[in-house]
């Protein structure tokens, strides 16, 4: 992928130097509060290799987010297909994120997500981008709202990848943003 620059960040593909951080954000109890699994180092390395290959193939994905001034990787923000979630329409594109806790509250996710929305609507030409989270994940839902996404309660779903052993994590709320809605937001911000 061609790196995307924002005011403070570089959004790029994963590099070997990111492995420690990738493992951390996939095993940290605070980061993974709303996920039914934690990855050990071997599983995290394998997943990072998988994500990196997807990004190389597609030109986008859950890409590394790095602070431009320090070159420190802080987590990921990006777009992804949702083929593994059969309750969503084929071709649905989601926006998602995961940062190390010490970087929360600085507006990094919103800044990076705005760049990814522009990429999705302008470069990929998608008509809609969605985001979803466990219903109690108020931090992620707040980001969705800041991005101008709108709740679609009729489309909320029980995530098929969440095992029955974690019933409190099954229900997911879905938020949507259309290209038209995004363009109207951009015009209003001028």
- The pLDDT tens digits for 93-143 are 999 999 999 999 999 999 999 999 999 999 999 999 999 999 999 999 999
Cα(115)–Cα(44) distance, integer angstroms: 26
Q: Over pLDDT 90: what percentage of the chain?
A: 91
Cα 57 to the chain's mean position, in Å? 18
Residue written as tokens 């989601």? 94
Which 8-state DSSP code applies to residue 190?
Answer: -
Q: Please tell me the predicted confidence (pLDDT) of residue 32.
A: 87
Confidence tier at 84 by pLDDT (50, 70, 90): confident
In this predicted structure, the answer to whether residue 190 has a pLDDT above a threshold of 90 is no
Q: Among the residues of the chain, which ranges form H helices?
A: 19-25, 41-58, 108-118, 138-146, 179-189
What topology is assigned to 4-189 in CATH? Aminopeptidase (3.40.630)
Note whether 61 and 78 are within 8 A (CB).
yes
- Domain ranges within the chain, ordered by starting residue: 4-189
pTM, 2 dp:
0.94
Note whether 73 and 102 are within 8 A (CB).
no
When the pLDDT of each residue in the chain is averaged and rounded to a whole number, the result is 95
Residues 6+ apart with CB under 8 A from 63: 1, 4, 11, 12, 13, 14, 55, 76, 77, 78
């Amino acid at each position: 992928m061609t790196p995307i620059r924002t005011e403070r960040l570089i959004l790029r593909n994963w590099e070997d130097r990111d492995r420690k951080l990738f493992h951390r954000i996939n095993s940290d109890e605070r980061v993974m509060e709303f996920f039914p699994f934690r990855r050990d180092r071997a599983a995290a390395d394998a997943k990072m290799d998988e994500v990196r290959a997807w990004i190389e193939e597609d030109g986008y994905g859950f890409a590394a987010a790095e602070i431009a001034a320090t070159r420190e990787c802080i987590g990921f923000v990006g777009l992804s297909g949702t083929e593994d979630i059969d309750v969503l329409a084929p071709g649905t594109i989601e926006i998602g994120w995961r940062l190390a806790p010490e970087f929360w509250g600085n507006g990094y996710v919103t800044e990076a997500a705005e760049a990814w929305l522009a990429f999705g609507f302008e470069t990929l030409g998608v008509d809609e981008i969605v985001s979803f989270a466990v219903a109690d994940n108020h931090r992620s839902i707040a980001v969705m709202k800041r991005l101008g996404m709108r709740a679609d309660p009729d489309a909320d779903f029980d995530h098929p990848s969440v095992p029955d052993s974690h019933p409190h994590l099954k229900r997911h709320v879905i938020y949507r943003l259309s290209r038209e809605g995004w363009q109207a937001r951009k015009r209003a911000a001028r």
